[in-house]
Amino acid sequence: MNYTEGKGWHDARVVPFENLSLSPAAMVFHYGQEMFEGLKAYKGEDGRARLFRPEMNAKRTNASNERLCIPKIPEEDFVEAVRTVVSVDKDWIPTEKGTSLYIRPFIIATDAFLGVAPSKTYMFIIILSPSGAYYESGLAPVGIWIEDEYVRAVRGGMGFAKTGGNYAASLIAQVKAHDDGYSQVLWLDGVERKYIEEVGAMNIFFKIDGKIVTPMLNGSILPGITRNSVITLCKEWGYEVEERKVSVDELLEAQKSGKLEECFGTGTAAVISPVGKLRYKDDVMVISGGEIGPVSARIYDEITGIQGGTKEDKLGWITFVD
C-alpha cells in the first residue's frame, strides 16, 4: 500500500516477493523514518490459520506512527491487510508444534529529499517468513546481561515505538553480552541507570515473594502484546500483579533473601523465555536454580495452547484467517 500527501493510503495489492526500487535519496535511508511490527500466524490441529491479537499490533503501529510523524493507518485496514497476505500464503504456515508464519509489516519514508522533515510519501509493506520452533527441545532458560554502560531509550525518546533506530542503538551491547556468553541484554533506565526496563526484544517479569512484578510502561519501554496477555492471565489466575519501578538493587536484595522466585522474558518470538541467570557487573544471580519456574511453564502452555487451538480462547484473542 502507498501513501501520498493529499491522497492518503491507497493501492493496496498483493504481489510476489521482489526487490524494491527506491531512490538512494529516499528519506528512510538517511533519517530512519520507519516503523515495523512483528506477529505470527499459527495453524491449529484443525488446519485453520490463526492470528494472535492482531488489533493490538494495529494500535501499536499507530502509536509508533504518531511519534515518527508517519500518517496513521485505520486499524481495521491494518488487520485486513495482514489477513489478506496470510490468506494468500496460508499453505506456507508450518504445522509442527511451536512453528508459525512470521509476519513483518513495516512502513518506510520514500520521498527523495535530503532535508530533515517528515516525508510526504510512504510505503506500507508486509513480508512473511516461515518460522521454526523457538525451542527445539522444550522451554530452556537463558542467561541475561544487565547493561550498565549503554542505554537503549530515554524518557521523551522513542523507546515505546517499534522503530529501527532503537534496535541499532542496542547492537553494541548485544555484541558485548554475546562475547561474554549471555544471549540477551536487559536495559536499565536512561536517567539513573538503576531501574529495569526491558530485554532486547522482550519485556521482563519477576516473581518476587509470591507477586508477579514487571516494570511499568513509562514511555521508554515497548508495550509488548505478550506482556499485556501475561498480565491478564496472571490476574485471572489470582496472582497479585504489580506494574511498577523495579530497581537492580531490589533484585539483588530479593535474590539474597531467597525472594526472587522466578524471572522470565515475554515476546512474540519465544512467547516466554525463562531466565536462569542474571548478570549485573560482578554479581551473577542464579534464579529458580537455573531451571524453568512453574509460572513461566504455565503461561507458556496457556498462550501456545490458545495460539494452536488446543486451549479455549476465552478472551477472544484469536482472529481466524480463512
Contacts with ligand PMP by CB under 6 A lie at: 38, 198, 201-203, 222, 224-227, 266-268
Question: Residues with Cβ < 8 Å from 281, sequence gap 6 or more?
Answer: 146, 148
- Distance, CA of 81 to CA of 75 (rounded, Å): 10
Q: Which of 159, 57, 164, 167 is nearest to 102 (CA)?
A: 57
Closest separation in Å from C-beta 11 to ligand PMP: 28
Handedness of CA 89, 90, 96, 100 (dihedral sign): positive
Closest CB to ligand PMP among residues 119, 268: 268
CB of 202 to ligand PMP, least distance (A): 5
Our CB check for ligand PMP shows the closer of 52 and 122 to be 52
φ/ψ of 269, rounded to 5, equals -60, -55
Give pairs for 131-135: CB < 8 Å, separation 24+.
Answer: 131/40, 131/94, 131/99, 131/100, 131/101, 131/102, 132/94, 132/98, 132/99, 133/96, 133/97, 133/98, 133/99, 134/98, 134/269, 134/270, 134/271, 135/98, 135/270
Measured from the CB atom, is 119 or 226 closer to ligand PMP? 226
Instruction: Output the smallest distance, CB 284 to ligand PMP, in A.
Output: 24
Q: How far is the CB of 315 from ligand PMP (least distance, A)?
A: 16
Nearest approach, Cβ of 7 to ligand PMP (angstroms)? 31
Instruction: Please state whether beta strands 271-280 and 142-146 pair in parallel, antiparallel, or not at all (unpaired).
Output: parallel
Nearer to ligand PMP, 126 or 252 (CB): 126
Residue 200 Rama label (left phi>0; alpha psi -120 to 50; beta): alpha
In what helix (H) or strand (E) does residue 78 lie, and over which residues does it extend? Answer: helix 75-88
From the CB of 180, what's the least distance to ligand PMP, in Å? 21
Instruction: Check if the beta carbon of residue 106 is closer than 8 Å to that of residue 34.
Output: yes
- Give me the residue whose beta carbon is nearest to ligand PMP: 224
Q: Which is nearer to ligand PMP, 71 or 224 (CB)?
A: 224
26 or 177: CB nearest ligand PMP: 177
- Which residue number, 3 or 42, has a Cβ lying nearer to ligand PMP? 42
